[in-house]
Structures are given as C-alpha cells and as structure tokens.
Amino acid sequence: MIRKAGLFFVLLLSTSAFAQEGVHYTGNTLVNVDYHHGQLRPVMGVHNIQVMRANREISHGWTYNHAPMLAYWHNRFYVEYLSDETGESIPPGQTLLLTSADGVTWSSPEVIFPPYKIPDGPVKDGIAHNLYAVMHQRMGFYVSKSNHLLALGYYGICLNAKDDPNDGNGIGRVVREILPDGKYGPVYFLRYNKAWNTSNTSFPFYTSSKNKDFIAACNELLATPLMMQQWNEEADRDDPLIPLQKQYKAFCYYHLPDKRVVGLWKNALTALSSDEGRTWSTVARAPGFVNSTAKIWGQKMADGRFATVYNPSEYRWPLALSVSDNGLEYTNLLLVNGEVPPMRYGGNYKSYGPQYVRGIEEGNGTPPDSNLWVTYSMNKEDIWVAKIPVPVKDTCNSHLNGNITDLETWNIYSPLWAPVSITDKGLTLQDKDPYDYAKAEHLIPATKKLLVEFSVVPDDHGQLQIELQDGKGTAGLRLIFDADTTLKAKAGARYKNFMRYKTDSLYRIRITLNTTTRFYTINVNGKDALTSLLFAPLDVVERIVFRTGEPRHFPNADTPADQDYDLPVLPIAKNAVYYIRSLKTAAL
C-alpha cells in the first residue's frame, strides 16, 4: 500500500507539473453533443462561408472532399483540398485548389494534382491492377524565404476500402509552384517512399527542374524540421528527415514568446520543443482538452493571444475555439460553427459535422484584416472557411440601434446556395438550397425585459424563422413567415397562425417580452397581433436569429457513424429572398 501510494503521489506531481508547463485547459465549459452547437456561447462576429459545394452533376463533381489547407499569398487566399470520387481512401484521388481575394467570393476549383495511375504489379500486401492512387497530405503549402509559394500533395496506395494510405507504403510527395499570375509550374516528386524512384514514377524529380529558385525553395523546405514533422504519417517509417517518428497524427505548431515551439496532434496530444522541432518533450494528452480523431489547430493571433480550434467532443461537432493569454493555459470554450447540414452523399468513412480544421501556418501569410481564418470540411463533402474576429469576444455590451450597414458584428452561416450579405436593401438572406439554409444572428446584452423592433420584406416561397435565444442557443420565441403566406408563432407543440402577409411588402415587427412572466406581445405595423407565452422558458435573452429553414436535430449522439446512402437529388429550389431592413433592441 505504501509503494502504491508513493507511485500515485509521483504520478500526481508529474501530471501537475505537465499541466503547469504544457498546453492545458482550465475552463469548466464542456459541450452537450445532443445539440449541434454543443450549447456553447458563440464567438461574436464569426462568418462561416461555404467555398465549395459538392455536386455530382458538375465538373470535378466528386463527393468526398476533405482535409483542406489554407494560405495567404500575394493578396489572395488559397485553399487546397483532397478529393475522392465517393468515399475516403477509395481511388481515384486528386487534389484541387481554389482562391479568393476577400475570403468571401471564391474561384471554381482547379485540379493541381491529378489522378495518378499506379503501375501494375505487386504493391504493399497485394497486387495492383488498373489501380489509381489516392491523395493524403497533412501539409498543403509552403512559402519560401524568397516568397515562392509551393503547393504539396501526397500520392498514397489503397488496395481496398479499409486500406491505409498513410502507412508509409505510398508512392511519394509531389510539389508544384503556384505563380503570381495564377498559373502553375510543372508537377514534380519531392520525396519518394522506398519502393519508388525516377524509373517507376510518372513525374520527374524536383532537382531536374531548370528553375533554380524553385529548387532552392524545395531544398529550404526539406531542411526545416517543423515542416518535415507534418510529413510523419506518409513518410517512410525511418525517414531521417522526420525528427519525431512515432505515429502521432496531423501535426501543427506555434511559437511561444520565449521561442519555444508548441506542437499539437490529433487527440489533443501536445509537446514542447526548444530547438525548432529537432527534439521534443514527452508527447502527452493536453490535460482538460476533449478531442478525438479530428484535427486540432493552434496559432498565435494578431492581438498576441493564442487560439486552439477543434471539435471538443467524441463527435465532429461542434467546431469550437479556446483562447489562451500565454499559449499554454486555455481558459474558455466558444462556438465557431454549430451547424450540421444533411450529408447529401454517403460514402466510406464520411463523418458528420464541421471538421479537420486548419488555419494559416506560420510563414504562410498574414491577411491584412487581423482576423483568424480557418478552413474545414463539412460532412467530408463540402469545403468551408471561417473568419473569426480578433480579439475574440463572446458578449455584446450594447443594444442595437436599428441600423444594419455591415456584417462585421453579425454571426453568419452562408452556404453557396443560401448566401448572407449586406445589400442596398439591408441584411439579405437568400435560399435556393433544398438541403441547407441561410442564417444570421446577433448577440445582445443579457436582458429579462426586452424590446425588439425589426423591419422585414418577406418572400412567399420559402420561410423565414426569427428566434430569440439565450446564451446556450435555447429558443423561447419563434416567429415564422411561412411559405403559405401565414405569419405564425410557435406555441408549445403547435403554432398560432395570427395573420396573413404579402410578399415584397414591408412589415415592421415590434416584440416586447418578459422572461420572468414568460409573456410576450407581437405588434405588426403598429397593431398588436398576438400575446402569448414563450414556448420554452428562458432566464434571459442574449441572441436574435434569422434563419431560412427549420432547426436541425439530425444527426445526434446515437446516429450510426457511417451513412451508406445518398439523399435524393433535388433540383435547385426557387430562390427565396428576405431583407432585414432594420433591427433595434432595448431593455425595458
């Protein structure tokens, strides 16, 4: 008993020392996975923007799209992602690129690493015949010291749907230069796995290039340990370029003020390095962090603080953010994206939710707006970016004055077919997506007795839902401009239809409510139209939400992990457009 007690005491001291020295989470906020948003408070002003919507009916219409990477170079954003025809690790595979000047409007995807035909014959533990490679990479971009932008990819081999492309037995890593005019240099192999060389591969080796600056950039990359650590999973298991060869997955890093490097891997594994990644402290799970097999991202923000962005659950929802003053102790947990739209296309190892998040790696550019930008995949089929305001805030200290002139303080969820924008007619929500919706919400000071006034021009072939919510996203009041031209309010399990409305007409809505009595009154164009009770009790109101669809509850914690079916192919819906002309709130 004395020996066991002594061992426990030593372990306790060791854990305590690690918690003080390494990355750790000391907040008390945890997610509730029964809700897609986890009941987390949102970061104020986050813009979630879809940049690629999977569509089997168009060019490059493969429906497994995943592992996006992000860079900012020559005043443009670059997103690279890998793509398989239907499911993870089922060949053929390719890698695509899209760009944007502002992070909102994006180019169409272009193939930068095309499908690669594997020579017939023995490969791995089976025989390859008429087989294409799949792509798998943990690193997408490198900006050299001479300001050359390299795009990188990796060709792996999967003999069946359960095979592993990053087992060290793939073909090799490829590279090409992205040029300032938007064109690309040739594809080269940058590093081979053991069975491959110039004699049995289809692209030349990078040293054969006539571009000396390109070769120099590649050599610079190969000489940087922190870059090489990202290659760990795909590289030969004894590749001398990889400093830490244990199979920790999806490495990212950032520097602390004292020049030490923080390393992060899947499962919230973390370690520290004092020599630029050549050697590392013991790798261990960051105390207090909840993270499973989706990636975790960490970086220093423009205000000098640090952020980690990840899925803080055993599921791949929600996407959340935690902030640290010193890069080691993380103290809060806030929402970045709490939406999980329907997975339209089933496939091998496709997971629900916003996942595999990546930001802009140190050295890969700094957007001029000082915001934190990340990219992620949704359901492993659509590609998104998020603009997260810095400094990070989760409360609104003043009520709204009625004017809607820009989106900076709004939280928006903006699919390509259901965009949110500011136009000359106000806050504009459009929706022609049969499977998704547009959403805009604004935080307000926590209020028990509240006045909300807004003016809206509704459409008549969709629906606009307006909700008042608390800080955890619980709605107590829901007002709907429905497709049948009825204005209705949710009353428990039923709805109260209290008036008809006309499309393209301006409606001035005034809501007064008291969360203590639960009563509210709706006034439309100067006349009281409904007095009723909140359909769910709220202590205070902290958000107003405008959404062009029903709230979603699928998938949930008990939904089977794998969806092996496609949803019906529905035509693009008739575009429904709603204009929010003004919004005012006040405490009564």
Residue 46 contacts residue 336 (beta carbons within 8 Å): yes
Q: Is residue 30 part of a domain?
A: no
The pLDDT of residue 20? 54
- State whether 120 and 266 are in the same domain: yes
The pLDDT of residue 16? 45
Residue 79 contacts residue 102 (beta carbons within 8 Å): no
- State whether 290 and 406 are in the same domain: no
Residue 327 contacts residue 336 (beta carbons within 8 Å): no
Residues near 579 by beta carbon (within 8 Å), at least 6 away in sequence: 423, 425, 426, 427, 428, 456, 457
Q: Is residue 116 part of a domain?
A: yes
The pLDDT of residue 99? 98
Q: Is residue 16 part of a domain?
A: no
- State whether 450 and 302 are in the same domain: no
**DSSP result, 324-387:** ESSSSEE---EEEE-------S--TT---SEEEEEEB-TTS---TT--EEEEEEETTTEEEEEE
Q: Which domain holds residue 117?
A: 43-388
Give the Cα-Cα-Cα angle 162, 167, 172 (nearest 5 degrees).
115
The pLDDT of residue 61? 87
Specify the CATH number for the domain of residue 572. Answer: 2.60.120.200
- Give the chain's domain count: 2
CA distances from 2 to 7, 9, 10, 32, 378 (A): 9, 10, 12, 40, 52
Which of 340, 361, 388 lies at the terminal end of a domain, its last residue? 388
pTM of the model: 0.96
Q: Is residue 500 part of a domain?
A: yes
- State whether 53 and 134 are in the same domain: yes
3-state SS, 144-187, equals: CCCCCEEEEEEEECCCCCCCCCCCCCCCEEEEEEECCCCCECCC
CA distances from 47 to 41, 44, 204, 394, 419 (A): 15, 9, 42, 14, 11
Residue 262 contacts residue 256 (beta carbons within 8 Å): yes
Q: Is residue 421 part of a domain?
A: yes
Residues 157 and 150: their CA atoms lie apart, in Å, by 23
Closest CA to 387 of 16, 50, 37, 24: 50
Residue 327 contacts residue 262 (beta carbons within 8 Å): yes
- State whether 162 and 255 are in the same domain: yes
Q: Is residue 22 part of a domain?
A: no
- State whether 113 and 231 are in the same domain: yes
The pLDDT of residue 1? 40
Q: Is 12 strand, coil or helix?
A: helix
- State whether 384 and 416 are in the same domain: no
CA distances from 432 to 506, 545, 557 (A): 22, 19, 29
- State whether 384 and 408 are in the same domain: no
Residues 520 and 479: their CA atoms lie apart, in Å, by 12
Specify the CATH number for the domain of residue 145. Answer: 2.120.10.10
- State whether 106 and 168 are in the same domain: yes
| Bond from prior residue into 555 cis (ω within 30 degrees of 0) | yes
The pLDDT of residue 450? 98
CA distances from 215 to 151, 153, 194, 222, 365 (A): 14, 17, 22, 11, 21
The DSSP 8-state label assigned to residue 38 in this structure reads T
Residues 333 and 312: their CA atoms lie apart, in Å, by 9
- State whether 456 and 563 are in the same domain: yes
The pLDDT of residue 522? 98
Which residues are registered as beta bridge partners of 511? 452, 522
- State whether 200 and 339 are in the same domain: yes
Q: Is residue 24 part of a domain?
A: no
Closest CA to 398 of 583, 586, 581: 586
Q: Is residue 107 part of a domain?
A: yes
- State whether 345 and 439 are in the same domain: no
Which of 321, 354, 388 lies at the terminal end of a domain, its last residue? 388
The pLDDT tens digits along the chain (588 residues) read 434 444 344 334 444 444 458 999 999 999 999 999 999 999 999 999 999 999 998 867 899 999 999 999 999 999 999 999 999 999 999 999 999 999 999 999 999 999 999 999 989 888 999 999 999 999 999 999 999 999 999 999 999 999 999 999 999 999 999 999 999 999 999 999 999 999 999 999 999 999 999 999 999 999 999 999 999 999 999 999 999 999 999 999 999 999 999 999 999 999 999 999 999 999 999 999 999 999 999 999 999 999 999 999 999 999 999 999 999 999 999 999 999 999 999 999 999 999 999 999 999 999 999 999 999 999 999 999 999 999 999 999 999 999 999 999 999 999 999 999 999 999 999 999 999 999 999 999 999 999 999 999 998 889 999 999 999 999 999 999 999 999 999 999 999 999 999 999 999 999 999 999 999 999 999 999 999 999 999 999 999 999 999 999 999 999 999 999 999 999 899 999 999 999 999 999
